[in-house]
Amino acid sequence: MARAIFTAVALAILFSLVFSALFSEFNPRYVTYTRTDFLTRTITFTRLVTNNVQFTQQLTITLEKLSQLSPPSKVIIFRLDDVSPGSLVNVVKEIIKTFVAKNIPLTVAIVPNSNGVLIRDDAELVSFLKTVAKNSGLIEIAQHGWNHTNYPPSGEFKGRPYEEQLFYMMKGKEILEEVFSNVAGPVQTFTVTYNVYDENTVRAAKNIGYKIFSSKLKMEWWDHDVTPPALHNKFNDGMLFLDWNFPLVKNETANEFHTPKEVLEGCRVNIALHGVCVVLFHVQDLDPTWSDSIDRERLRKLVDILDKLVEAREFNFMTMRSYYQYRLKE
């Protein structure tokens, strides 16, 4: 029995290692799957790998070293975007209560300033978040830009002078830490609004002490000399880069969620490729009418997804900050 268990574990480790190694060979450039055909393209890619002539050679070499290796982590991180002062507070509460009830950690990405209202001025939202953070220990407070304004012709940060980016990033961080650090811990994660940024955004985040930088690392959104996509789930000058590599919503027009099975299989693939699956969703995904009343059917679908992942009994759930600490100890 023990031998059979070891063999099964060894094969699981091997699959992850070999799959990851061959990924870079077949894809010299970073591959971004679209939301509509993510699973289809993943299946095609898997077949390509298993038909490769080098697979057997790699298999033999890796088997000889399995006894020296520890199993790779299987981590899922949920990132909730667009939590803003004065906006959809009741929906935010319902979402976070759902994660707490399931004992699943959640990175809560907050816009510090929304239409001139600072997060510290929203007493109801702040009180709720502080209470949950203190009593559950399950939520991480992250910074989601400054005011989520799409400055033309780029986004909130990209293309603006370094000093401006540094100022607004630092201002947002200071406000969040003033409000939450005493109950939720330090604010260490910066998430980019609109997924657009440049080398000065990365530089500013590093210089004010951010430990995690999270954005969609997509080739066409990059300028020359910006941190390369190969850094996804890797450190650069002490800062960990985390792509969000699985969106909860697969069809933005219809605001249609992935099915529980699709999320399960999608996270399995992303973990095999990158070592971690970051699932992104937004407050308004649970309230598409912006009425500050959660859509009960969408909430049920979210619960079904969480239940499916928990029932699989193969994942560790973390926030971005706790994952960063975990990586430091590897």
Question: What pLDDT, on a 0 to 100 scale, did the predictor assign at position 30?
Answer: 31
Asked whether residue 43 falls in the same domain as residue 89, the answer is: no
The CATH number given to whatever domain includes residue 170 is 3.20.20.370
For 199-208, the pLDDT digits (tens) are: 899 999 999 9
d(CA 168, CA 156): 10
Asked whether residue 135 falls in the same domain as residue 173, the answer is: yes
d(CA 260, CA 268): 12
Question: What pLDDT, on a 0 to 100 scale, did the predictor assign at position 96?
Answer: 97
Question: What pLDDT, on a 0 to 100 scale, did the predictor assign at position 57?
Answer: 40
d(CA 19, CA 6): 20
- Token look-up 């992250």 returns 142
Question: What pLDDT, on a 0 to 100 scale, did the predictor assign at position 62?
Answer: 40
For 208-225, the pLDDT digits (tens) are: 999 999 998 655 444 555
CB neighbourhood size of 313 (10 A): 6
Asked whether residue 220 falls in the same domain as residue 293, the answer is: yes
Q: Could you list the residue range(s) of the whole structural domain that residue 269 is in?
A: 75-329
| Cα-based angle 140, 146, 148 (whole degrees, multiple of 5) | 100
Asked whether residue 40 falls in the same domain as residue 106, the answer is: no
Among 68, 87, 117, the domain boundary falls at 68
Instruction: Please check the confidence at residue 168 and state whether its pLDDT lies above 70.
Output: yes
Question: What pLDDT, on a 0 to 100 scale, did the predictor assign at position 150?
Answer: 64
Domain tally, the chain: 2
The arithmetic mean of pLDDT across residues 306-311, rounded, is 96
Alpha helices per DSSP H over 185-319:
199-207, 260-274, 296-312
CB neighbourhood size of 320 (10 A): 26
For 242-279, the pLDDT digits (tens) are: 999 899 998 767 778 999 999 999 999 999 888 899 99
Among 16, 34, 68, the domain boundary falls at 68
Among 68, 96, 113, the domain boundary falls at 68
Distance of alpha carbon 17 from the chain centroid: 22
Asked whether residue 105 falls in the same domain as residue 239, the answer is: yes
Asked whether residue 17 falls in the same domain as residue 155, the answer is: no
- Closest by CA to 77, choosing from 271, 284, 320, is 320
- Closest by CA to 281, choosing from 91, 85, 68, is 91
Asked whether residue 164 falls in the same domain as residue 262, the answer is: yes
Q: Any idea which of 56-60, 93-97, 155-159, 209-213 has the lowest mean pLDDT?
A: 56-60
221 or 154, greater pLDDT: 154
For 87-120, the pLDDT digits (tens) are: 999 999 999 999 999 999 999 999 999 888 899 9
Model confidence at 77, pLDDT cuts 50, 70, 90, reads very high
Write down the pTM of the prediction: 0.76
Asked whether residue 25 falls in the same domain as residue 120, the answer is: no
Q: Any idea which of 22-36, 231-245, 267-281, 310-324 has the lowest mean pLDDT?
A: 22-36
Asked whether residue 201 falls in the same domain as residue 273, the answer is: yes
Instruction: Give bridge partners of residue 191 from the DSSP assignment.
Output: 144, 214
